[in-house]
Structure 1
């Protein structure tokens, strides 16, 4: 019996070591993405002629639009504010020479998708970036203290994702190629107090994306959940860029190098490193009122400082 236990423990130890080594190797690819897999310049163009980006009037959506245009795709911009759409479209056309189509749509509404689908008829869409999203309140606060914008948030963060994916995916699958990038959030990978409903909505994006990748990977699809930490955008009140706070342009450019890395990515090396650290913190730490209040003060103070400086 003693010998059997020793063999069993040795086997379990070997399995643990093997899993650890595999995780380390998989993590190293973020340091050297071009050595792990080199994407040819024509990779995104090979998926189709057009890329569709929701919430592309500014922030991460705008950055993805520019980056995909630079990589050879024509762009469909979908957002609420017509003036922003027209400005971004003009800048992309002048900078890259690619075609740009704009669709004005408010994703907090439910009755917009027939018009969007009709506007996309005849376009060979190779990339969909489900970027649009909203916060009930930009500053962290407890659920009952948030403004009651629940329906708008659910429509924008969840309904838009499922509807746009359905519209685009059904034309990708027959061609057996296409990329769907769903912008979730790092706070969607764990329960995040003070951002409860936003965290939950982004958890839907995360699990929905992973499940769809399981369903459609064999059909040639790449469906990836992108889960960034802080990115300097209007939603984050233009937080000052730093080692772990990326500009939208930096984030979009780097995350596109990781599209073949699996069903989920934190989008950039800095955020991958930060995620490994955050995963070491037990969830019970966040149950402390003291910790929550400190986080609230720290995040609010940082955002208000950024707002005053803009």
Structure 2
């Protein structure tokens, strides 16, 4: 008897919640509750299926890129940072789609090499080059604008591709970065593309319909250690793209000038050798996927379905788990880079 009373005293705290759980269970078993649950479940499943269908459609729908190629001889596209990696892929694929290309870079020898290779591959296209160091603050974008005004045709596409960590070592604490390195990152990833867009907008407006493609980064959405300045500039580019798109809509130009920011995740390039199973793609895959998204009405989006799936999977992780994973990965990358630098000395 004493044992029963002791057990009752010990577990009577559960009496109230058990009582209410029984009441809720009783209500749930009623016909009205069962019907309501079925309706809500059907709506939730329907919405999930609808969102999934939209996701699939966004990657298989036909692109409207051709509306920007005004003439048979090819309208012009400017690709910044076009000598390597993703920039080279933009130039290659746009040439393949019928556009003449103005290749921008800071190395004249690399620019000429890329120009010759693309000219041999696409003999019907016209290619030109312009040299300007995006990392400087003495208005290098003006050289691009001056060259555009000399083109034998209309500029209709601007690809703001140039960017990256652009300093060595790439992974540094923010306190370790010198003022000149910080300026280099800010100029290359933010100042140059924003100034260039401002100067070219009147021409794009005159040559409408036109397209502006800004290259963003998934680092804008996470707290990435050792890349604080770079991550910040990519967040700025996303905000800039949204605001510019809204501004053009306010000015009645929403249908004339399309603005998009392509969020880029792990992609092989000259500055990125990191491999991630399944989710790492090359520049060509990224660019083809991104051009396929032209005309879909979205302003900020992933260019390739693998990156979109990766973002979905990552979004399912608890915040603390994701943060811990990112911290471990970035510590490891920093150590690996430091070891490589030490070996090269």
TM-score (norm 2): 0.75
Query: Using the alignment, how far apart are the partners of 2:338 and 2:268 within structure 1?
Result: 14
For 2:159, what is the secondary structure of its paired residue? strand
| Cα distance, 1:224–1:275 mapped onto 2, change above 3 Å | same
* 8 Å CA contact retained: 2:93, 2:287: yes
Moved more, 81-90 or 103-112: 103-112
The aligned residue for residue 262 of structure 2 is 226
Moved more, 116-125 or 83-92: 116-125
The aligned residue for residue 253 of structure 1 is 288
* 8 Å CA contact retained: 2:269, 2:282: yes
The aligned residue for residue 201 of structure 2 is 169
* 8 Å CA contact retained: 2:79, 2:103: yes
For 1:143, what is the secondary structure of its paired residue? coil
Equivalent position to 1:132, from 162, 166, 176? 162
The aligned residue for residue 206 of structure 1 is 238
Query: Using the alignment, how far apart are the partners of 1:306 and 1:273 within structure 2?
Result: 32
1:24 matched to 2:52? The reply is: yes
For 2:83, what is the secondary structure of its paired residue? coil
1:295 matched to 2:329? The reply is: yes
Moved more, 259-268 or 44-53: 44-53
The aligned residue for residue 218 of structure 2 is 186
* 8 Å CA contact retained: 2:225, 2:327: no
* 8 Å CA contact retained: 2:67, 2:209: no
Moved more, 156-165 or 146-155: 146-155
Q: Work out the number of aligned pairs and report it.
A: 297
**1:85-164 equivalence runs, <5 A:** 85-97=111-123, 98-111=125-138, 112-123=140-151, 124-135=154-165, 136-137=167-168, 139-148=170-179, 149-164=181-196
TM-score (norm 1): 0.83
Quote the offset at 1:206 in angstroms: 1.0
The aligned residue for residue 62 of structure 2 is 37
For 1:231, what is the secondary structure of its paired residue? coil
User: Unpaired runs of 5+ in structure 1?
Assistant: 1-5
Quote the offset at 1:264 in angstroms: 1.6
Q: Which one has the largest radius of gyration?
A: 2
| Cα distance, 1:147–1:110 mapped onto 2, change above 3 Å | closer
Query: Using the alignment, how far apart are the partners of 1:67 and 1:305 within structure 2?
Result: 37
* 8 Å CA contact retained: 2:106, 2:134: yes
User: Unpaired runs of 5+ in structure 2?
Assistant: 1-32
| Cα distance, 1:178–1:243 mapped onto 2, change above 3 Å | same
Quote the offset at 1:193 in angstroms: 2.7
The aligned residue for residue 271 of structure 2 is 235
For 2:175, what is the secondary structure of its paired residue? helix
Quote the offset at 1:282 in angstroms: 4.5
The aligned residue for residue 3 of structure 1 is none
Query: Using the alignment, how far apart are the partners of 1:103 and 1:23 within structure 2?
Result: 43
Quote the offset at 1:213 in angstroms: 1.6
